[in-house]
Structures are given as structure tokens and as C-alpha cells.
């Protein structure tokens, strides 16, 4: 059982690391893009939305990292 726990801890640290929003944000953005594709939205609009969502997640992560701690 110890090996299974170590294996899971490795993959969590490798994928999530210190910033969970950088792991979950693009997954949510891709899910949103998939929903929009299924809804018949133009590919160009979806590309812009996907780019903005991923860039927004990156900006949020930078803000949360660089903000002054009280």
C-alpha cells in the first residue's frame, strides 16, 4: 500500500505542484470550449475564448503568487 500512496503522491506533485489553478484552469477552459463546439459556436470565437481563458488563469496565478502577504 505504501507504494500506491507514493505513486499517487508523485503524480499529484507532478501534475498539480504548488498551483492547483494552473492544473484545473486549462481543463475547465477545454471543457468550456467543448461545450461551445457542441453548441455550434464558430471555431474562431472558441479559439479567442480559449486563449483568453488560459491567459486569464495564468494572470490569476501570477497575481496570487505576487500579492503581498499580510
pLDDT value of position 61: 92
Cβ contacts of residue 26 below 8 Å, gap of 6+? 53, 54, 57
- Beta carbons of 57 and 22 less than 8 angstroms apart: yes
Q: Tell me the whole-structure pTM to 2 decimals.
A: 0.78
Can you tell me the mean pLDDT for 34-62? 95
> Cα separation of 53 and 50, whole Å?
5
Q: Cell for 28?
A: 475547465
- Beta carbons of 59 and 21 less than 8 angstroms apart: no
pLDDT tens sequence across 6-32: 999 999 999 888 888 899 999 999 999
Amino acid at each position: 500500500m505504501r507504494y500506491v500512496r507514493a505513486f499517487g503522491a508523485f503524480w499529484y506533485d507532478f501534475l498539480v505542484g504548488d498551483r492547483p489553478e494552473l492544473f484545473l484552469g486549462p481543463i475547465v477552459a477545454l471543457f468550456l470550449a467543448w461545450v461551445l463546439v457542441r453548441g455550434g459556436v464558430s471555431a474562431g470565437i472558441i479559439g479567442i475564448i480559449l486563449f483568453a481563458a488560459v491567459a486569464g488563469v495564468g494572470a490569476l496565478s501570477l497575481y496570487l503568487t505576487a500579492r503581498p502577504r499580510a
